[in-house]
């Protein structure tokens, strides 16, 4: 039974909201048209970016047509149709050549010079996007079809073109974003840098990284400031099976309490004043990859509870949402605090600590790594050479000895900054060798140390506490001399400002 026009139109309308393999939408539209309109040949054309009409679906015509392009100027019938905004009918006596002459599927040799022919231009929001053409061998075949029927088909064809064009543009943009993401992930992977060192401690560290990287275990990296915890986190991710996915960085110390929950877990539009749109949190962004919770020891207790829930359930709830989202995230956390001590003093939840501490990795301080200072010095100077485009730059053996004797409370970062400053001075002096002078080995430091030796204890004491007390006194003294300005105190104590500030905060110094 012949379907009614309404049934056919309904089917086309339904197709508009259905995903079909590419090209199928057009072909189904033409097939539907043929079911209700009496024609031997029909074609749907879409303009390409060069201004050619490209057939995207045909019926009753040789498939060869699909490989051809039609320039309207060379095809007067197509040109005439394009010139009208309503359906255009050609008289059967029209002398204008037909673009499909010789392409009839059933009878390629026959000419369609005496026939009924009509067409309609296709518009998407005032833009001419294509043409629909119908040919019938029987004269008068189209007399019964009113313009509104053809216009309805044309409108649905235009909507189909619009849909497909939009989907294709979205696919292209998605592909582009995927490529950019891939590039950024690769870049981030190389940015992590190389874990340099020859000491037994560094070798053990590398073994540990290798052992746990492939698993999905949570890793808690501990170690003093500047020891390379972030580098270890990058290395863990790079060696994991998730290395082609992002590692999302969260600095727990820099999360303002008011927006922390939304930063981590996202929010829905209207969840709070200023939440103008839906937003994914860091956990969602890290889905199928890794989340690196740096400075985890600084996370407020309230957020610790929320984080624990996410880790336990493997689900996040955006602020203001009523549904949970499943996430698959590998957790790496780092801290320079003694988390066990923090737990015993009630500042860190013990249940969260145990969840994070599945595989602990401790990064030893630089002063405990025999032989690393020399190789790190070489590595850092290589970076300086590259940066300043110079060929030779060394440290004098006495300078190296000096470097090896230092305590490096700021660890590799402090060594890095010290060497960079010294390198700058030597470059300024046009010297290829870094001397103690460039290192700023000043009488003040030595004087400071010797005055401490005047005050040696008679009774046993905890060395770390005594050193920290002295460090605190020095920082307070430095600040006093510098009018409470940290950057000046850092200059005075010949330390990196960031490291000094961190150390001061840790030791409870109040400016």
Ligand X SMILES: Nc1ncnc2c1ncn2[C@@H]1O[C@H](COP(=O)(O)OP(=O)(O)OP(=O)(O)O)[C@@H](O)[C@H]1O
User: In this chain, which stretch among 221-229, 238-246, 300-308, 319-327 interacts with ligand X, using CB under 6 A?
Assistant: 221-229
**Per CB under 5 A, 416 contacts Mg ion:** no
Assess 224 for contact with Mg ion (CB under 5 A).
no
User: Are the CB atoms for 293 and 329 separated by under 8 Å?
Assistant: no
In terms of CB distance, is 27 or 357 closer to Mg ion?
357
CA 324 to each of CA 262, 283, 365: distance values in angstroms, whole numbers, following the listed order: 14, 12, 42
Question: What DSSP string describes 78-132?
Answer: HHHHHT-SS-EEE-TT--SPPTTTT-BSS-TT----SSEEEEEEEEETTEEEEEE
Specify the residue, 98 or 230, whose C-beta has the smaller distance to Mg ion: 230
Cβ 295 to ligand X shortest distance, Å = 7
Q: Should residue 246 be labelled a site residue for ligand X when binding is judged by CB under 6 A?
A: no
The entry of Mg ion, ligand X, none that residue 129 binds, CB within 5 to 8 Å by partner kind? none
- Pick from 116, 135, 230, 263 the residue near Mg ion by CB under 5 A: 230
Answer whether 275's CB lies under 8 Å from 320's CB.
yes
Segment lying near ligand X (by CB under 6 A), choices 68-76, 86-94, 189-197, 207-215: 189-197
Closest distance to Mg ion from the beta carbon of 294 (Å): 5
Residue list 143-162, contact with ligand X (CB under 6 A): none
Distance CA 392, CA 227 (A): 27
- Under the binding rule (CB under 6 A), the answer on residue 336 touching ligand X is yes
The yes or no reply on residue 196 touching ligand X (CB under 6 A) is yes
Query: Least CB distance from residue 482 to ligand X, whole Å?
Result: 22
Q: Which residue in the block uniquely carries the two structure tokens 């336990």? A: 312
**CA 434 – CA 422 distance, rounded (Å):** 7
228: which DSSP letter? Answer: S
- The CB density around residue 224, as the number of other CB atoms within 10 Å, is 20
In the chain, the N- to C-terminal Cα span, in Å, equals 92
Contacted entry of ligand X, Mg ion, none for residue 227, CB cut-off 5 to 8 Å set by kind: ligand X
229 in contact with ligand X (CB under 6 A): yes
* Interaction between residue 297 and ligand X (CB under 6 A): no
Strand partners, 359: 219
Q: Give CA–CA dist 287/307, Å, rounded.
A: 15
Query: Does 223 participate in binding ligand X (rule CB under 6 A)?
Result: yes
Number of residues that bind Mg ion (CB under 5 A): 2
- Residue 227 binds to ligand X (criterion: CB under 6 A): yes
Interhelix angle 411-428/397-405, nearest 10 degrees: 150
Nearer to Mg ion, 229 or 242 (CB): 229
Query: Which residue, 24 or 206, is less far from ligand X as judged by CB?
Result: 206
Closest CA to 357 of 310, 301, 311: 311
DSSP letter at 323 equals: S
When asked if residue 262 is in the footprint of ligand X (CB under 6 A), the reply is no
Smallest distance from ligand X to CB 448, Å:
24
Q: Which residues bind ligand X (CB under 6 A)?
A: 193, 195-197, 223, 225-231, 336, 376, 379, 412-413, 416
């Amino acid at each position: 039974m012949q379907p009614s026009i309404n049934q056919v139109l309904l089917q086309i309308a339904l197709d508009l909201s259905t995903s079909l393999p590419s090209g199928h939408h057009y072909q189904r539209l033409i097939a539907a048209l043929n079911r209700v309109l009496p024609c031997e040949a029909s074609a749907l054309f879409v303009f390409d970016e060069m201004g050619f009409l490209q057939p995207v679906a045909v019926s009753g015509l040789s498939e060869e047509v699909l490989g051809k392009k039609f320039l309207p100027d060379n095809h007067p019938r197509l040109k005439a149709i394009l010139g009208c905004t309503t359906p255009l009918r050609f008289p059967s006596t029209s002398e204008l050549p037909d673009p499909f002459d010789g392409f009839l599927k059933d009878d390629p040799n026959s000419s369609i010079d005496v026939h009924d022919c009509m067409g309609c231009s296709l518009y998407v929001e005032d833009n001419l996007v294509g043409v629909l053409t119908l040919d019938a061998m029987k004269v008068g075949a189209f007399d019964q079809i009113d313009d509104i029927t053809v216009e309805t088909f044309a409108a649905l064809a235009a909507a189909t073109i619009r849909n497909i064009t939009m989907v294709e543009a979205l696919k292209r943009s998605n592909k582009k974003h995927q490529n950019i993401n891939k590039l950024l992930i690769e870049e981030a992977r190389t940015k992590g840098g190389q874990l340099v060192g020859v000491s037994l401690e560094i070798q053990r560290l590398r073994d540990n990284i290798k052992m746990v990287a492939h698993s999905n275990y949570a890793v808690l990296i501990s170690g003093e400031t500047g020891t390379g915890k972030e580098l270890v986190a990058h290395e863990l991710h790079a060696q994991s099976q998730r290395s082609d996915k992002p590692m999302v960085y969260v600095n727990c110390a820099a999360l303002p309490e008011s927006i922390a929950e939304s930063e981590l877990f996202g929010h829905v539009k209207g969840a709070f004043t200023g939440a103008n749109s839906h937003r994914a949190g860091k956990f969602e962004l890290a889905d199928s990859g890794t989340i690196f919770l740096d400075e985890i020891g600084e996370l407020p207790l309230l957020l610790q509870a929320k984080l624990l829930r996410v880790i336990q359930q493997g689900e996040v709830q955006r602020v203001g949402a009523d549904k949970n989202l499943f996430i698959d995230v590998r957790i790496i956390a780092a801290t320079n605090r003694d988390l066990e001590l923090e737990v015993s003093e009630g500042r860190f939840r013990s249940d969260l600590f145990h969840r994070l501490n599945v595989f602990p990795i401790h990064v030893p301080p630089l002063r405990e790594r025999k032989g690393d200072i020399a190789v790190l010095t070489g590595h850092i100077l290589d970076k300086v050479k590259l940066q300043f485009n110079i060929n030779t730059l060394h440290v004098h053996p006495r300078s190296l000895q000096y470097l090896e004797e230092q305590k490096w409370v700021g660890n590799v970062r402090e060594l890095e900054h010290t060497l960079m400053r010294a390198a700058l001075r030597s470059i300024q002096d046009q010297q290829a060798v870094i001397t103690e002078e460039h290192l700023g080995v000043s009488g003040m430091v030595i004087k400071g140390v010797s005055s401490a030796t005047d005050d040696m204890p008679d009774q046993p004491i905890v060395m770390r506490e005594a050193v920290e007390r002295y460090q605190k006194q020095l920082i307070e003294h430095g600040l006093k001399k510098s009018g409470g300005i940290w950057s000046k105190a850092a200059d005075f104590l010949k330390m990196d400002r960031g490291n000094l500030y961190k150390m001061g905060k840790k030791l409870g110094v109040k400016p």
